[in-house]
Chain A
Amino acid sequence: MNDRQIKQLTSENPVATGRLRPTVWTALTALSIGITVSSCTPKSPDVATPPSDGAAPSATVPAADGKGSALSGAGATFPAPLYQRWFADYNKANPGTQISYQSVGSGAGVEQFLAGTVDFGATDAPLKPEERTKFKTKYGAEPIQVPMTGGSVVFAYNLDGVKDLKLSRAAYCGITTGAIKKWNDPEIAKANPGAKLPDSAIQFVHRSDGSGTTFQFTNHLKVACPTWTAGVNKSISWPQGMTGAKGNEGVSAQIKQTPNAIGYVEYSYAKQTDMPMAEIENKSGKLIAPTPAAGEAAFVGEKVPADLALLVPDSANPNAYPISGLTWLLLYPQSKDAAKQTALKSVVEWALTTGKATATELGYVPLEDSLVAKVKAELSKVK
């Protein structure tokens, strides 16, 4: 077609001209259709369709060889480096079993576990009673919750010329609530004789994202500090003007770049990035440096509840590092796919025995033996 023809076509063809006005009309119709159609949508789209029976549906592709299983899980970010290492190591030893783990956060992990879109979930805070009820009404049995590993939360700091910072209870309580504002405060100086504490403002850095680390940290502060009023949660309302950073890596970057800064990070992370960590005073008044052994000591001799939701906000053990917590795996008591459940059981048992060395190596707190025995007993309920 040449230009002239096009011109003729457009001027003579009634379809091509005079259609401007109806577009307004059609747009309006489109909008109203859209509203009616979408208001018929039965449910909010963030909830996945639950399975009709009690089984965990396979969101994963079954392994090709028929004997092996492909497991998928989702949840907590704090143990993710350890889980990924464990699952990779296990896969090397047992090539038939492939496990994928998405570190989407504890909240999302629990939600997916309840919805049945994963083979197992993971969480830094034990299941709440209402979540247990929800599970029970849907699947007709109690969910199985087993602790896998623990971790300590440490105070990492950046203070020129101060190597071994020691913090008494009153000192770290004051720093976190914002009551102690300067480094040369007598409360801090008392525990650090001879240290050159600067006369400058303390720059406290906290996690801005919702996190199991914040949960463990505030869980301890609430018990240890009478002045702590912000409560216990994965994210809380911090005093005005404190800087928040995303993730362990964000907090540690902020601390490293800011002179006179202090903040809390996971022990494993602080250890891997060589950050100076403060010794803190535990319940029996002893100054304790964070180590896996001191973290493990926090759980020794504690009475374990039936659902294994062991929280030790402030251990009475004189050798314990007080800010230590566990992280849990969530399993289905029953499933149609027996092969998967067997594989899962063997993974958990392997991780708690053979995998212990890996946990220590990465800076996590391995479970002490009596707790491992309890986990094994609980695992027998998985069918």
Chain B
Amino acid sequence: MKTQPPNSTETLLEASTQFKVVRSIDKNFRRVTFGLAIGIGLILVWITYSLLVIALPAIQTFGLGFLVDSTWDPVKNIYGALPHVYGTILSSFLALLFSVPLGVGVAIFLTENFLAPKILQPIALTIELLAAIPSVVYGLWGLFVFLPAIKPLFQGLNHNFGWIPFFSTEPGGRQLLGASLVLAIMILPTIIAISRDTLTSLPPKLRQGAYGLGATRWETIMLVLLPAALSGIVGSIMLALGRALGETMAMAMLIGNANQANISWLAPASTLSSLIANQFGEASGLQKSSLFYEALILMVLTLLVNIFAQMLVSRFQQVE
């Protein structure tokens, strides 16, 4: 876009000979973006609607009781989602339990000049590469390398802490805790990358001010930088949670696909998405409807997490 240099006696609008052109481009651009924005909304509505249509027989048959029923019997055509909702929420929660302290810690370490940039850059690159690994690769690695390697630890947990209900069952090859650990590794890059960006973009005067007042590095990080970056960190955690809830392939391979809501973390379990991935290919009739019903539940669950995240973030922003 070329404009005439402004004449000091005229206003800018009058000076511009291409004003009309600019205006019309402006208008059309607005229309196009508006259309695209509506399009996104339409696609979401379309997906939800088509899920709903196919899920309708299951919704009519089982109602909300679907959520608290733990039967999944394709022979008798009785279905319930309790074990899968339980497995989805618990595995995501456990994954966050491991990855949040680790991820935020790494982000702080990478931003607070503990390291020379020469070493720092490769580390940051490695973390971003972790995010680029396809989930089926994580699944295969978990199945053949990670879980066999970590099995003695689980057995130790069961033998020594078996009195805690969470570790009360003999660990099999695949179980909830192992799958959650792999999930934690999968969501780690999201947490690190976004937290790191937030920490780097904090105004330097915060750091300088804190040091100037005589705060130690520890105090600066804990009392000044972390609270200031909290909204970004919470945002990163929520994004990671979103991925954890929806993760399909790795979970279908690692979680054991047992249709039970067991208190023990060392027992095989299943998640909403792993069940769908497992059974969709050969399902028909009410079974297919029920799988779509589960998909709807997963969508609502993710939506709730997002709304919750928005509320949290806006709250922290107000505090600032």
A interface residues with partner B (beta carbon < 8 Å): 1, 5, 8-9, 12, 15, 26-27, 30-31, 33-35, 37-39, 41, 44-46, 77, 104-108, 111, 201, 203, 208-212, 230-238, 240-246, 250, 253-254, 257-258, 261
Contact = CB atoms under 8 A, between A and B. Distances in A.
A30 B258 contact: no
A31 B281 contact: no
Contacts of A261: 173
A210 B148 CA distance: 26
Given A111-B284, A203-B172, A241-B260, A246 B252 contact: yes
A15 to B, nearest CB: 6
Name the residue in B3, B6, B75, B274 with the highest tally of chain A Cβ atoms < 10 Å from its Cβ: B75
Interface in B289-313: none
Contacts of A210: 74, 278-283
A209 B279 contact: yes
Interface in B264-278: 267-268, 270, 274, 277-278
Contact of A237 (B42, B46, B75): B75
A335 B34 CA distance: 48
16 contacts: A30-B37, A30-B42, A34-B38, A34-B44, A34-B45, A38-B42, A107-B281, A211-B282, A235-B74, A241-B260, A243-B258, A244-B256, A244-B258, A244-B268, A244-B278, A254-B173
Given A15-B26, A253-B143, A107 B282 contact: yes
A257 B178 CA distance: 14
B117 interface: no
Contacts of A31: 41, 45
Contacts of B69: none
A232 B74 CA distance: 9
B222 interface: no
Contacts of B26: 15
Which 10 pairs show the lowest CB-CB distances between chains A and B? A210-B282, A231-B75, A105-B281, A244-B257, A208-B257, A237-B73, A34-B45, A30-B38, A107-B282, A258-B173
Nearest to B259: A237
Contacts of B49: 35, 38-39, 41
B262 interface: yes
Contacts of B268: 241-244
Contacts of B256: 243-245
Nearest to A76: B282
Interface in B190-220: none
B34 A26 contact: yes
Interface residues of B, number: 58
Given A1-B1, A250-B253, A243 B174 contact: yes
Contacts of A211: 282
Given A34-B45, A39-B49, A231-B76, A209 B172 contact: no
A224 B256 CA distance: 28
B135 interface: no
Name the residue in B6, B71, B282 with the highest tally of chain A Cβ atoms < 10 Å from its Cβ: B282
B77 to A, nearest CB: 10
Given A203-B172, A230-B75, A105 B282 contact: yes
B319 interface: no
B316 interface: no
A108 B267 CA distance: 32
A192 B312 CA distance: 63
B225 to A, nearest CB: 31
Contact of A235 (B46, B53, B274, B282): B282
Nearest to B40: A30
Interface in B17-75: 23, 26-27, 30, 34, 37-38, 41-42, 44-46, 49-50, 53-54, 71-75
